[in-house]
Chain A
Amino acid sequence: MERFVCVNGSDNLQIPGDVLESLEIRELTDVHLRADRIVEVSRRMKAGGWIRLPFCNTLCCEALGAVPVLSLSGARVKEPPYRRAEELPDRLKAETERLTAMLSAVELLAGEGNCVAYNIEGPFTLLCSLLPMNRVFSALRKEEGVKLLEKAESWVCDYAALAVGRGVRLLSFADPVAAVDILGEKMFSSVYVPSLKRVLDRLRSEFPDTPIHLCGKLSQCLLDTRFCTAERRESEGRCASYGEALSSFCETGQNGVIGHFCLNYLKAKRTYLTLLEL
């Protein structure tokens, strides 16, 4: 199987300038706080039969206390809001203005019959957005690390539940901090992979009708460390793109983990999926 190489460089889905221009979007509140405008933008960005939502990468962090800097080109958490692990909240505050708008947009789009893919971030990336990275890694080496990870895993699942409850068809899972070249094989294998497995098992059990698409970089790390096997699955029926192959898979009602490719290439002429078994 060929190696997956990420050339995207960003985990943030950007709105193309021509979309902003044609919809006359000039205020950042339009793309962050107004469900109707988010819906319009997302419709324009539809690719391969799928709707993806821009700027949802920091919503979970915000619901956990982060204060993102908003702009027309995205949202980013400039500084971690907490200094110590003990300060982290147990639960998400789902009623933030931005998350409310985003979930309303998801509901509207899904209600129109669109296939909606929703990005969620894994426990390591969430933790490293909320706490200084050295504190996260220091805590993970100690006894307190077990509880810290359990808490982060619950955030991921609770956040996914909000999206699935609004009708998303596919969860797109990435955890950019959790790469072997960052963590090293030891921490990746002994700490991260068990955590990832717990999250994926829980997501699959709680949302049996919603497949999970694992980021290509993460998939490649799992393959490199032999924590997963990959199976090429040709799509059923005629598909012209990766997006259509995904839709076809979702229609079969199978609940699997797909990966080794990237949702930024939904229009790619790739008519097969790679199913992962962890």
Chain B
Amino acid sequence: MSEKEKLLAELDRCVLEMEDEAVIEVAEKYVAGGHDAYDGITEGLSRGMEKAGKLYEEEEYFVPELLICSDAMYNGLDVLKPHLKAGGTDHKYPVIIGVVEGDTHDIGKNLVKIMMDTAGFDVHDLGRDVPVSSFIEKAKEVGHGLLCMSTLMTTTMVNMGRVIDGLKEAGIRDDFKVMVGGGPLSKSYADKIGADIYTSNAAEAANVAKVIAEAFIA
């Protein structure tokens, strides 16, 4: 195994085993060795995060583990990103994501964001308790892609429909696929408000997003 391969495996392991501090040193060593930063991300950090996501799907890992793994990934990214060569990355499919206005429960949204980041999407995280207007403004700015909304509360579900109406009013509804999810939601509710996709968990959301992005690129 070459030095580069050893360090890639170590980046992968640090993310998977939640070594959110040790990963920084490994990433620095990787960069100091003159290795390609893009490979460090895709074959090291992201690979570890993909494995963590798989363990989450299998209920070996839960929210705390996944969040700490993602901390490790982002810590490694902070070191590697400044060393990316210009033009060295593929065009990324944009994703806008947020918890709708009135709701601050963002666990599910954060998991989807992590999985989308790991899958290589260009994620625009609007946070939680996001007004309808902020979704629309960001959609206008980004231009096309996937717009994801979540909520845990029945009282705020209505705001998802308002965002979709806002996209229509702005004349950009067809430029976006709208994905919704969250505790009280269902496929029938998604259909009712005119969303394109309903997903019931973070892993499913990322998998469906990949299919959409691939179809767009094709």
Residues of A with Cβ closer than 8 Å to B? 9-10, 14, 69, 73, 76-79, 133-134, 137-138, 140-141, 177, 181-184, 186-187
Instruction: Decide: A73 near B62, CB < 8 A? Known: A137-B68, A141-B68.
Output: no
Interface of B is mostly: loop
Q: Is B152 a contact partner of A9 (Cβ separation < 8 A)?
A: yes
**Mind listing 14 A-B residue pairs with CB under 8 Å?**
A10-B154, A69-B129, A76-B129, A77-B104, A78-B128, A133-B107, A133-B110, A134-B67, A138-B68, A138-B71, A183-B62, A183-B63, A184-B62, A186-B62
Instruction: Decide: A183 near B64, CB < 8 A? Known: A10-B153, A141-B18.
Output: yes
- For B, the interface residue count at a CB cutoff of 8 angstroms equals 26
B188 contacts the other chain (CB 8 A)? no
Given A69-B129, A73-B102, 20 extra CB contacts under 8 A: A9-B153, A10-B154, A14-B155, A77-B104, A78-B128, A79-B127, A133-B63, A133-B107, A141-B18, A177-B107, A181-B62, A182-B107, A183-B63, A183-B64, A184-B61, A184-B62, A184-B64, A184-B65, A186-B62, A187-B62
Interface residues of B in 27-78 (CB under 8 A from A): 59, 61-65, 67-68, 70-71
Roughly how many angstroms separate A64 CA and B73 CA in the complex, as a whole number? Answer: 31
Chain B residues, Cβ within 8 Å of A69: 129
B184 contacts the other chain (CB 8 A)? yes
Instruction: Decide: A140 near B129, CB < 8 A? Known: A133-B110, A134-B70.
Output: no
Chain A residues, Cβ within 8 Å of B67: 133-134, 137-138
B20 contacts the other chain (CB 8 A)? yes
**Number of A-B pairs, beta carbon distance below 8 Å:** 62
B194 contacts the other chain (CB 8 A)? no
Find the B residue at minimum CB distance from A177. B107
Rounded to whole Å, the gap between the CB of B120 and the closest CB of chain A is 21
Roughly how many angstroms separate A248 CA and B102 CA in the complex, as a whole number? Answer: 37
Roughly how many angstroms separate A184 CA and B60 CA in the complex, as a whole number? Answer: 8
Chain A residues, Cβ within 8 Å of B127: 78-79
B143 contacts the other chain (CB 8 A)? no
Rounded to whole Å, the gap between the CB of A68 and the closest CB of chain B is 10
Roughly how many angstroms separate A70 CA and B206 CA in the complex, as a whole number? Answer: 34
Q: B126-162 toward A: CB 8 Å interface, digit per residue (1/0)? A: 0111000000000000000000000011110000000
Q: Is B184 a contact partner of A9 (Cβ separation < 8 A)?
A: yes
Rounded to whole Å, the gap between the CB of A127 and the closest CB of chain B is 12
Chain A CB within 10 Å, residue with most, of B20, B68, B104, B184 = B104
Interface residues of B in 72-110 (CB under 8 A from A): 102-104, 107, 110
Find the B residue at minimum CB distance from A180. B62
Q: Is B155 a contact partner of A10 (Cβ separation < 8 A)?
A: yes
